[in-house]
Amino acid sequence: MSWAEEDWTVGLSGRVLQKVKELQVFKERLSRENKQKQLQLDNIHTSLEKQTAKVNTDQSLPQPDIPIPALKAASLKSCNTS
């Protein structure tokens, strides 16, 4: 593809060629940043799926019949006796 890029720049002034080069470098940088952000997004999505699966698994486990305040009080008593 580089030959096609060079064809259309033939005859352009030095100043315009410099601007074209700057824009090409800028485009490449944006492309790299886009790939990096997409990878981060994919990783976050994978992490979310794993956490969602874990929560769903935890919710399917039998829950204790002890009310939450009683659990807190029991844990506080065990902390005070230590």
What residues have CB less than 8 Å from 9, skipping those under 6 apart? 17, 20
Query: Does residue 37 carry a pLDDT above 70?
Result: yes
Is residue 9 within 8 Å of 20, Cβ to Cβ?
A: yes
pLDDT digits (tens, 9 = 90+) for 51-61: 999 888 887 77
Distance CA 74, CA 64 (A): 14
| Residue 58 CA: distances (Å) to CA of 44, 45, 81 | 21, 20, 30
16 contacts 8 by C-beta, under 8 angstroms? no
pTM score of the predicted model: 0.56
Residue 53 identity (one-letter amino acid):
A
Could you read off the pLDDT of 6-35 as tens digits, one per residue? 688 899 999 999 999 999 999 999 999 999
